[in-house]
Amino acid sequence: MNPKGKYAVVRLKLLPVEQGSSRLPVGKTVAVTGYRASYGISDLFSVVLVSTDSDDMPKQDGGIVKLYPLMPQMESRLPEVGSTFILTDGSTPVAACQVLECGEDPVR
């Protein structure tokens, strides 16, 4: 999976989850679900996270990742700078993301 197009750069804050619940998947690039906090869970859609700092998703607070919509049709739903995006495992929130910047990959 090699996402391209519009993205948001976000700082992760992992949320406490019950024992046995999952967190972010393992890998440099992973597909998950999430929603813009100001819209609530009814805004849930699929996104792709790409780690910017390592070969794997950050396992502690403060990690930086790029967040892409899974489908280009969802680009308009990307969160704005300064807003919060909630990552989920199903409908369970697992991380809150502070949006640092937005951008778009150059066309090749």
Q: Phi and psi for 89 in degrees, rounded to 5? A: -110, 100
What does the pLDDT read at residue 22? 61
Q: Domain total for the chain?
A: 1
Q: What is the pLDDT along the chain (108 residues), one digit of tens a residue?
A: 668 899 999 999 988 877 555 677 888 889 999 999 999 999 999 999 998 876 777 777 888 999 999 998 999 999 999 999 999 988 889 899 999 999 998 865
Does residue 108 lie within any of the structural domains? no
* Residue 102, Cβ density class (10 Å: 0-12 exposed, 13-18 middle, ≥19 buried): middle
8 Å CB contact between 26 and 89: no
Q: Residue type at 67?
A: L
Does residue 35 lie within any of the structural domains? yes
Does residue 1 lie within any of the structural domains? no
Does residue 103 lie within any of the structural domains? no
Does residue 84 lie within any of the structural domains? yes
Does residue 82 lie within any of the structural domains? yes
Q: How far apart are alpha carbons 57 and 49 in whole angstroms?
A: 8
Does residue 45 lie within any of the structural domains? yes
Q: How far apart are alpha carbons 88 and 103 in whole angstroms?
A: 23
What does the pLDDT read at residue 105? 87
Does residue 22 lie within any of the structural domains? yes
Residues spanned by the domain of 68: 6-98
Report the CATH number at residue 69: 2.40.30
Q: How far apart are alpha carbons 99 and 91 in whole angstroms?
A: 21
Q: How far apart are alpha carbons 42 and 55 in whole angstroms?
A: 32
